[in-house]
Amino acid sequence: MGLCRAFADPRRLTEPKASAFADPRRLKPAARLGIARDQGNQHHRRHPRRVDERDSQTNGEDCCMKIIRRPTVYLVGRQQLDEGQIQQFLDDHGVSNWTTDASTAGDELPEFAGRLCYMSFAKPRPGGNKTYLGHIKEVGHGSVLEHAVWNFIFTGVSRSFTHELVRHRAGFGYSQLSQRYVDESVADFVEPDCIADDPKLHEVWQSAVQHAQEAYIKLVDGLQAKFSDIEQKTQRRKMARQAARSVLPNATETKIFVTANARALRHFVELRCSEHAETEIRMVAAQVLEILQREAPNIFNDYAFAELPDGTRAASTPHGKV
């Protein structure tokens, strides 16, 4: 499976030329405790020691901690078909005239897998890929959907979000930013809208996260001094950070690489793009579904969005638990 550029709506990607894998938190500015508040719908990439021009509130200091209000989803990998090997298989089994009208690998692979189960290549039912996958969803033959896989990066999300996300185990793989190796003295923080929209509550929240980060910095400095007898510098830093992170809040921003198949993603969308889901994970699930409806329209075309009173969206389908 090859890597590709982000295929999310380009209006959601504020700086597509920047590398999704570069971690500016490895840079250590001198002044680390200023706050910039992001009021917009985008997660703007932080530049250390500089307040982004689009940030609407700062405290006048050199800033490297930013408050984030919206997550960002990057699609970085998708499957590719080997048409030659598919044709070789068909030729070897006496099927020379099978074709599909699927427009993406995500839609074609489940159809191919399903037809292999019954060797139904020679006499396909009319209606094409859309009809075939529609029938798969109707009868609940969801195992064939597990062959379509995508790779995502989620950024601008909180540790609270990832605690919920990683409960989805079957069909998912994860690689998350490490708080043992990455310096969180320049971390960003994710603020819920219901707090951000109330000036008094925002002030309480902002004070709490700022004091937590100040405590983290003091603990890291003190622990590195305490572990000064350890010769290896990397090990000394890791030991200090892994203990100091205990004071960081669930609001601490993180980044996570996610790989999942279509069946698992359907289950994720049904649980998390629901009006009953927590707001942050619902926003991510809605972005993921938008991407998947472009990547595999015939697998995900049965979901319909509905606007919720809080400005987020929920999705529903008549074909649950496929």
Q: Look up the CATH number of the domain holding residue 270.
A: 3.30.70.3180
Which of 146, 165, 182 is the last residue in one of the domains?
Answer: 146
Active site residues: 272
Of residues 271, 256, 263, the one with CA closest to residue 173: 256
- pTM beyond 0.75: yes
Asked, for residue 10, whether it belongs to a domain, the answer is no
In a domain, 181, yes or no: no
Q: What Å distances lie between residue 19 and 13, 24, 54, 128, 216, CA to CA? A: 12, 11, 20, 39, 28
* Residue 269 is assigned to a structural domain of this protein: yes
Phi, psi of 72 (to 5 degrees): -130, 135
What is the domain count for the chain?
A: 2
- Whether 42 maps to a domain, the answer reads no
Contact (Cβ atoms closer than 8 angstroms) between residue 91 and residue 72: no
The pLDDT profile of the chain, 322 residues, written as one tens digit per residue, is 444 433 333 333 333 333 333 343 433 333 334 444 443 433 333 333 222 322 333 333 334 569 999 999 999 999 999 999 999 999 999 998 899 999 999 999 999 999 999 999 988 888 999 999 999 999 999 999 999 999 999 999 999 999 999 999 999 999 999 999 999 999 999 999 999 999 999 999 999 999 999 999 999 999 999 999 999 999 999 999 999 999 999 999 999 999 999 999 999 999 999 999 999 999 999 999 999 999 999 999 999 999 999 999 999 999 999 9
Return the residue matching tokens 């409960």: 167
Residue 40 inside a domain? The answer is no
- Last residue of some domain: 116, 146, 176? 146
What is the C-alpha separation between 116 and 180, in angstroms, rounded? 46
On whether residue 139 sits in a domain, the answer given is yes
DSSP state of 50: S
Asked whether residue 267 is assigned to any structural domain, the reply reads: yes
Residue 285 lies in a domain: yes
For the chain, the distance separating the N- and C-terminal CA atoms, rounded to the nearest angstrom, is 25
Distances 256 to 52, 60, 151, 175 between C-alpha atoms, Å = 23, 31, 11, 6
Distance CA 201, CA 322 (A): 42
The whole-angstrom separation of Cα 296 and Cα 280 is 24
Paired residues of 145 in beta bridges = none
Reported for 234-241, long-range contacts at CB under 8 A and 24+ positions apart, including other chains, are 238/180, 238/181, 241/179, 241/180, 241/181, 241/182, 241/183, 241/184
Reference 161, options 240, 30, 72; nearest CA is 72
Show the domain range for 135: 96-146
